[in-house]
Chains A and B, each alone.
Chain A
Amino acid sequence: MENVILNRLPVPTFRWLKVNEVSRAENEFGTGAENVIQPDDDARIEITGGRNRLVINAAENSRREAVVFISGSEGKTVVTEVNAAAGAEVKLVQVYENSGAANSSVNAEIAENAALELIQLYIGGADTVSGINAELAGRCSKFRADIGYLLDGTDKLDINLTARHSGKKSSSEIAVKGVMRGHSEKIFRGTIDFLKGAAGAKGKENEDVLTLDETVRSKTVPLILCAEEDVEGSHGAVIGRIDENQMFYMQSRGIPEDKIYEMMARAQIAQIAEKTGDSETIGRVGAALGGGDSDEQLYKE
């Protein structure tokens, strides 16, 4: 059985933290011939197993959108290639609803004035290894990632995201919101890499994690690598608790602490689902969130 090394941190750190890379048996993530999907237009794709390659080529100044649902108990590999030519705008939504193992990677080339908006929602997942690499090669290229995860039981999620800025005035914004329960484990690695010459580039990264059980294990590894003077980079992370002012405000209106955690947990994920603007996604995620008392649902009572 071949082992593969995945999600390698661009610059390694202390070994005992065990965040430098992840190793998995190759056949864990589906077998067989590669299924290549290359839609010509906006697409809605369901992937439930096997080895898959999704290619999105967005021509100059075009707009493309793809919504991909990745689900089921079979092991699977999903490789996504995005080429956004000059001035193109691509929106890629990926919803992971796996009970099995999944290995996903997104590799994006973003040209001058082009933009990629990536929205990923991880609802559970026995063992999900997900790599995202955005090459901000063009001048004024843009990358925005909104990632949400909801983990419970023995769910395991391993993310390695890199935004590589080589284009002048390129910008990236990465917002991650997560909720963890049970014995779930998660590593989020997020790297903003400013290469020499990326003058005027800006990068921002944020992770907000609510840990709802004492048995969870959350690792956050937010890197900024910088070889250019004229850049602005920042990252932030809040792990564990709800902001005290928010807590007091909600308590003062009579809502007890455990209820507040539940509301905020739902809100974390619902916010990202809303960003897709896709009613199927909102519906499916809403159903997974359970106890969803969104107004739409209550109207139907």
Chain B
Amino acid sequence: MSQLLEIKGLTAGIEGKTLLHGIDLTVGAGETHVLMGPNGAGKSTLGSVIMGSPEYAVSGGSILFKGEDITDESADKRAKRGIFLSFQDPVEIAGVSLSEFLRNALEQLTGKHTKLWDHKKKLKQCMEILGMDSAYADRDLNVGFSGGEKKKAEILQLLVLEPQLAILDETDSGLDVDAVKTVSAGIEEYKRRTGGSLIVITHNTRILDALKVDKTHILAAGKTVAEGGAELAGDVIEHGFERYINGGK
């Protein structure tokens, strides 16, 4: 059977500068993958390209989701297929409340009208898991949210939208110990409810503690330089990237 996500020889860049050089990555249903690498390795770029960011141009290779080629699809179509990206730096949208935004998104994804009462109930329940004040639901999306609140709001959207593949781009960075725990709990809950797949871009293990990692990929200068199991992530955090970068694959 086909995999959930299959990336083959993906080459992409921005304004003539190539940032990803022939990346291969396969994620099966229910798997958790960790993406690591030094700053500028192309991790976030890969996340954005999988989501279909118009900022980057794909010059080679392909992205298959459930066996279908989505390389040229716009972001909203990919979202409808079940891909989700938790942004490293979520944008602010004045005039649109978090609740209104999510209901709109949900209606687009499911193609049916969501009863407001059900929506509110689900939202409130998800916010409780993340320890978010329910007043945030009526605030403008991300406007005036602190860094931690923005990250929580991303995980909230993950819980409400229930995608099949979630890419978490440094969702743990800039958070204090308690906030990381809360966010981890949210991710665990997502896994428990949906059995969805994860690609976690991170620099440390804390967020991984509660997750069963299936595979670790090390990226450097836009290339995959090492791959392994859960133990590789631990090893990298303990000893650094150097030997993988210099030694190659």
Binding site for B on A (CB under 8 A): 243-246, 248-257, 259, 263-264, 266-268, 270-271, 293-295, 298-299, 301
The CA of A243 and the CA of B74, in the complex, are separated in Å by 16
Q: Which residues of A sit under 8 angstroms from B95, Cβ to Cβ?
A: 264, 266-268, 270-271
Q: A246-B93, A264-B95 are in contact. Are A253 and B101 (CB under 8 A)?
A: yes
B99 with A253: CB separation less than 8 A: no
A249 with B87: CB separation less than 8 A: yes
A250 with B161: CB separation less than 8 A: no
- Mostly, the B contact residues are helix
B76 with A255: CB separation less than 8 A: yes
Residue pairs across A and B with Cβ atoms less than 8 A apart, 18 shown, are: A244-B54, A246-B91, A246-B93, A248-B51, A248-B75, A249-B91, A249-B93, A250-B93, A250-B101, A255-B105, A257-B76, A259-B104, A264-B93, A294-B100, A295-B97, A295-B116, A295-B138, A301-B116
B93 with A254: CB separation less than 8 A: no
Which of A244, A245, A248, A255 is B108 in contact with, Cβ under 8 Å? Answer: A255
A254 with B108: CB separation less than 8 A: yes
Q: A248-B53, A251-B76, A254-B161 are in contact. Are A298 and B96 (CB under 8 A)?
A: no
Q: A294-B100, A295-B99, A295-B116 are in contact. Are A252 and B91 (CB under 8 A)?
A: no
With A251-B74, A252-B75, A295-B138 known, 18 other A-B pairs at CB within 8 A are A244-B54, A245-B91, A248-B51, A248-B54, A249-B87, A251-B75, A251-B79, A252-B76, A252-B85, A252-B87, A254-B76, A254-B79, A254-B80, A256-B108, A264-B96, A267-B95, A295-B116, A298-B116
Q: A251-B79, A253-B79, A298-B116 are in contact. Are A263 and B96 (CB under 8 A)?
A: yes
B100 with A293: CB separation less than 8 A: yes
Measured between C-beta atoms, what is the minimum distance from B224 to chain A in Å? 24
The CA of A246 and the CA of B141, in the complex, are separated in Å by 11
Q: Is there a chain A Cβ closer than 8 Å to B90's Cβ?
A: yes
Interface size class of B (residues with CB under 8 A): 20 to 34
Q: Is there a chain A Cβ closer than 8 Å to B190's Cβ?
A: no
**Chain B residue, CB-CB nearest to A263:** B96
Binding site for A on B (CB under 8 A): 51-55, 74-76, 78-80, 84-85, 87, 90-91, 93-97, 99-105, 108-109, 116, 138, 157, 161
Q: Which residues of B sit under 8 angstroms from A267, Cβ to Cβ?
A: 93-96
B90 with A252: CB separation less than 8 A: no
Q: Which residues of B sit under 8 angstroms from A249, Cβ to Cβ?
A: 87, 90-91, 93
Q: Which residues of B sit under 8 angstroms from A254, Cβ to Cβ?
A: 76, 79-80, 105, 108-109, 161
Measured between C-beta atoms, what is the minimum distance from A264 to chain B in Å? 7
Measured between C-beta atoms, what is the minimum distance from A59 to chain B in Å? 35
